[in-house]
Structure 1
């Protein structure tokens, strides 16, 4: 059974030594206990529910990228949010969003615990593919395709001009980082570009990277939708 994610606001620093690595059974420090060790893509269209202070009483939804197993046994959904990938339950931004739960569109059902089949999938996978021990250089553990239409926004002139690049895949590294992989058009030799292609590079490592946008918003921006452009301008200027 997966652990429930802890409420960081109520955690006690003195309890960090009580968190045990699910494999070595040794105490984990606070830095390492939430390190991601395995991911599973969300292929059934499940979403995260969130709210924000600008729209009290209203819920919004966002497609889940994947589910992640942490080193301490915690499992949560991962969401590309602003300029990073975050566990859904850690979303606690008064302006941009608070996590409120998960939503299964197929069954029209809101819920708060990680689905049991996702727990079983991740725990079985990590038993079959044991976590890689610490190495001097981080290596690729997994690479999954992006199935939710994520785009990375690049700009080299303070948003006077922007480039929206489709995220091809996501790589999990042995140090727990989850990186968005986008194609360098100058290096593309085969199409369509698939996960693992040599033309891919990590968006977050690019000096011009600023934000992630999801499929609907990214395409509205591409098509010059006034509301989407206004929201984007507010984000940049804010």
Structure 2
């Protein structure tokens, strides 16, 4: 006969703590601009036989050491790997327009750049949320800003992006009435945080933003389908 099994004490798993640790591992700790024209490739449910390309704004280093591509998408600067729904866009990979190569892992040189910068600029954690880094917007991104469901919307150019110590990222917009110099650059007093002033913000690529400003009927119809249900 086998030996009797010794009783094992039950272990209580705190699911909330597990979720918090998982979120912490995904927290962005450093950004690096994409300056070589690499793109995100994605598909849409409305056109499953086609592939679309969108320029990457930056690469981000997570707390767990993973590197991800970042694009202005809908309401935030988004990790490409989080786009997994055909309706809104499904991430396929990254693309080098010069070679037309499609790959799924970030380039080694960007991973090395981020790791080195994170080590060099390592900050001391504190109880307060602090500014870690600022990047200029190099894509001509625009933000559609709304403060109330029935109030007029405003299309404003995005001048930059801020990374905070809690991993959050916010866009920088300009109060043109306070601008004293042109062009507007990071550090100018006229810049403000988008989330601090607007109830809802949606980000668009430059060519789509121009169609909205020109009140292109097809673009406005598509905009209503994207924005109105989320009010």
User: TM-score under structure 1 normalisation?
Assistant: 0.83
The number of residue pairs the alignment matches comes to: 214
Matched, 1:85 2:48: no
- Of 66, 76, 79 in structure 1, the residue corresponding to residue 58 of structure 2 is 66
Q: Pick the structure with greater CA Rg.
A: 2
Q: Which residue of 2 aligns with 1:21?
A: none
Alpha-carbon separation, structure 2, partners of 1:236 and 1:51: 20
Q: What is the SS of the residue equivalent to 2:24?
A: coil
Quote how far apart the aligned CAs of 1:121 are: 1.0
The equivalences for 1:1-238 within 5 A come to 29-130=21-122, 132-158=123-149, 161-238=152-229
Q: What is the SS of the residue equivalent to 2:30?
A: strand
CA distance 1:234–1:196, change in 2 (3 Å): same
Q: What is the SS of the residue equivalent to 2:47?
A: coil
Quote how far apart the aligned CAs of 1:157 are: 4.6
* RMSD across aligned positions (CA): 2.0
Contact 1:49-1:61 within 8 A present in 2 as well: yes
Contact 2:194-2:201 within 8 A present in 1 as well: no
Contact 1:143-1:196 within 8 A present in 2 as well: no
Gaps spanning 5+ residues in structure 1: where? 1-12, 18-27
Contact 1:36-1:70 within 8 A present in 2 as well: yes
1:141-166: CA deviation from partner (whole Å, max 9, x where unpaired): 11110001111111245366321110
CA distance 1:126–1:234, change in 2 (3 Å): same
User: TM-score under structure 2 normalisation?
Assistant: 0.85
Deviates more, 1:159-168 or 1:96-105: 159-168
